[in-house]
């Protein structure tokens, strides 16, 4: 299937399926019976947003964290099954020590501060990515959040933290090879389905919709296996300014597309 990208309309206007435009988020009506089961988001633009205002990058990440909580709440309110957020990639370690350190502290604080809210909303927090390299204080807070919410039955919130799509696929193959060597799996059983199950998100439906803010037209090593048939929706809006109304626009656009999935 050809992966169609969609450059979003300007934030103040929305287009309906007939191409007409209407102002205001209240006029975006969603079909609640046809929501994407799983949304994945590349939260891009925090640093550019801060730079435009003459601020340090960490200020952009801090304001972006508020956006993140608003989007999580919107997904809870809509009753979505899963949300995966590209929180920190394996490539992000290339940034300055000051920015990386500030990000690690910010993520840790957000996890601690938002845990009561996640519990009230019945959100199950998961970490996808490698633990190696993450600071101990962050791992402790991450473990507290994942362990205390593991029995929650609402939105599954995947935090892609120290995550890289190629690394995930490599980890999946290592797991499958070990099982073959141990006699637990026959080589002919290494199918696409087996690979999918061995990924970090193996027990979840694959994303139906992948959103990227900031206008860049690439997936940046984010869930490359899982988004093979996802609908792509790209907006020029930078992450700190991405509001729930724009999430609804993305979902509305998803709902009016014809999904052939190769047929």
Q: Please give the pLDDT value at position 26.
A: 52
pLDDT digits (tens, 9 = 90+) for 134-188: 999 999 999 999 999 999 999 999 999 999 999 999 999 999 999 999 999 999 9
Q: Please give the pLDDT value at position 43.
A: 98
For 17, the token pair is 């399926």
Find, among 85, 107, 49, 104, the residue nearest to 239 by Cα: 49
Fold annotation for 13-23+33-256: Undecaprenyl pyrophosphate synthetase (3.40.1180)
β 21-23/13-15 pair status:
antiparallel
Q: Please give the pLDDT value at position 262.
A: 65
Active site residues: 44, 92
- In contact, 64 and 48? CB cutoff 8 Å: no
Q: Please give the pLDDT value at position 32.
A: 94
Name the stretches of the chain with pLDDT < 70.
1-27, 262-263
pTM of the full structure:
0.89
Q: How far is CA 161 from CA 89, 132, 191, in A?
A: 6, 11, 27
Q: What gap in Å lies between CA 115 and CA 84, rounded to an integer?
A: 17
């Amino acid at each position: 299937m050809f992966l169609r990208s969609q450059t979003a309309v300007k934030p103040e206007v929305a287009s309906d399926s007939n191409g007409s435009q209407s102002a205001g988020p209240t006029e975006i009506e969603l079909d609640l019976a046809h929501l994407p089961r799983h949304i994945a988001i590349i939260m891009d633009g925090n640093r550019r947003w801060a730079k435009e205002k003459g601020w340090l990058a960490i200020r952009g990440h801090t304001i972006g964290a508020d956006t993140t909580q608003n989007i999580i709440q919107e997904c809870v309110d809509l009753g979505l099954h899963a949300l995966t957020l590209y929180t920190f990639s394996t490539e992000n370690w290339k940034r300055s020590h000051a920015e990386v350190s500030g990000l690690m502290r910010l993520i840790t604080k957000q996890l601690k501060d938002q845990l009561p809210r996640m519990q009230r909303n019945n959100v199950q927090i998961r970490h996808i990515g490698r633990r190696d390299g993450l600071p101990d204080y962050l791992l402790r807070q991450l473990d507290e959040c994942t362990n205390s919410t593991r029995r929650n039955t609402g939105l599954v919130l995947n935090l892609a933290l120290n995550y890289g799509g190629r690394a995930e696929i490599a980890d999946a193959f290592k797991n499958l090879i070990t099982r073959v060597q141990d006699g637990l799996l026959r080589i002919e059983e290494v199918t696409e389905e087996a690979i999918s199950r061995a990924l970090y998100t193996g027990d979840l439906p694959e994303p139906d919709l992948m959103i990227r803010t900031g206008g860049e037209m690439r997936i940046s090593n984010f869930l490359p296996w899982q988004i093979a048939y996802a609908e792509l929706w790209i907006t020029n809006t930078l992450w700190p300014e991405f509001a729930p109304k724009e999430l609804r626009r993305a979902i509305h656009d998803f709902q009016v597309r014809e999904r052939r999935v190769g047929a």
